Amino acid sequence: MAQLTREQKQQYDEQGFVLLRRLLQPEELRPLIHEIEAAVEKLGREYQAAGRLQSLHEGHPFQTRFIKMVEQCPAIYPELTGSRLMGPALFQLLSHPKLVDIAESIVGPEVHCEGRHRLRPKLPNYEAADFRWHEDTLYQARRITYVEQQFGLGATDPKRNGTVMSRIVAAPQMAEPGFWIPLVDVDETNGCLEMLPGGHRHTPPYDRQWDPSLFVPQLEGLMPVAIPMQVGDALFIHQHCPHNSPPNRSDHIRWSVDIRYQDGRLPIKSAREPGFLARSRERSSEVVTTYEGYVRIREAAAAFARTPGIRL
Ligand SMILES: O=C(O)CCC(=O)C(=O)O
């Protein structure tokens, strides 16, 4: 089992994240890269057939081809973001024993892989691919507002649109650790993540969530750090640790995937994007072991969402 070591667990608890160098062999990510390359090719052909794309930019590699397509046809960009890309190699990564082992050390033996896994082609100088400070479970909107004010996107920032991101969830205390996995080497030039070490701590009880005086002072003095990573590394993140994705100033795409897990016995977060049971002792027959099994779950949810009167 690739459980966290005691030091790694301590770092996760204290800092809100731990960088797991070489958790995966770079070759293990090759099938996913090939799957993305095939998806880019297929999309390009579809858009070309529809007269929306002039060139397929076949001479361009993984790191630049999609930029060229988006330049020609911006509508193609969202086709490859979020969880639209589904394929056997992605499923292999979501259910990779090393990821599930590590998730298990936080969520316990019933491990549910959330359906909110995201593929992120972070294009150079492409605002839609940048993220301001946020927590993955936005439990405490005011804490994030504070962080934004300290480190950017404060009240006077023209990019701030006035809405506070406050997606308060039903089970705020539920552990939802996530992995952020780059598919290319990342650094401050091409938009590696910035984390706020310790920013996840002092989460107030649910009923006090709107009183910032209870926790904000405890964020004072914390400083963000950029996390350069190489292919094969994985950043394991506490759901309340504030992080930020600054612009990609390089000439290539910063491809990455992020994945979240939760305790399979607790309410499942997203009905619209259901995940799957990745490991279980109590319900071993329900563990999803094939890509086809996962596709069936997603298709069933999509069909249900199309039912008149149903809104997921
Ligand atoms: O990949 C990125 O640039 C941002 C990802 C992120 O913020 C997240 O996974 O919550």
Choose which residue among 133, 193, 239 to substitute to test ligand 1 binding: the one with the highest number of ligand atoms within 8 A of its C-beta. 193
By alpha-carbon position, which residue is closest to atom 3 of ligand 1? Answer: 245
The 3-state DSSP class for residue 263 equals strand
Choose which residue among 114, 167, 243 to substitute to test ligand 1 binding: the one with the highest number of ligand atoms within 8 A of its C-beta. 243
Banded pLDDT at 284 (limits 50, 70, 90): very high
Choose which residue among 235, 258, 260 to substitute to test ligand 1 binding: the one with the highest number of ligand atoms within 8 A of its C-beta. 258
CATH architecture, range 6-305: Sandwich (2.60)
Q: Alpha helices, DSSP H only, in 50-131? A: 65-72, 88-94, 97-107
Please tell me the distance between residue 50's alpha carbon and the centre of ligand 1 in angstroms. 32
The 3-state DSSP class for residue 260 equals strand
Cα first-last separation, the chain: 36
Q: What's the pLDDT at 168?
A: 35
Please tell me the distance between residue 30's alpha carbon and the centre of ligand 1 in angstroms. 21
Pocket of ligand 1 (CB under 6 A): 120, 122, 131, 136, 180, 243, 245, 256, 258
Please tell me the distance between residue 244's alpha carbon and the centre of ligand 1 in angstroms. 7
Range ranked top by mean pLDDT from 116-125, 133-142, 192-201, 263-272: 116-125
Please tell me the distance between residue 181's alpha carbon and the centre of ligand 1 in angstroms. 10
Q: What's the pLDDT at 208?
A: 44
Domain boundaries of the chain, sorted by first residue: 6-305
Note the pLDDT tens digit of each residue in 182-197.
999 999 999 999 998 9
The 3-state DSSP class for residue 18 equals strand
Note the pLDDT tens digit of each residue in 244-280.
888 999 999 999 999 999 999 887 777 778 999 999 9
Inter-helix orientation angle 30-49/65-72, to 10°: 20
Checking if the pLDDT of 212 tops 90, the result is no
Note the pLDDT tens digit of each residue in 86-112.
999 999 999 999 999 999 999 999 999
By alpha-carbon position, which residue is closest to atom 5 of ligand 1? Answer: 245
Q: Phi, psi at residue 194, to the nearest 5°?
A: -110, 135
Banded pLDDT at 227 (limits 50, 70, 90): very high
Single pTM value for the model: 0.87
Choose which residue among 130, 132, 180 to substitute to test ligand 1 binding: the one with the highest number of ligand atoms within 8 A of its C-beta. 180
Q: Quick one: which of 136, 140, 143 has its CA closest to 209?
A: 140
Report the atom number in ligand 1 closest to the C-alpha of 118.
9
Phi-psi region for residue 168, left (φ > 0), alpha (ψ -120 to 50) or beta?
beta
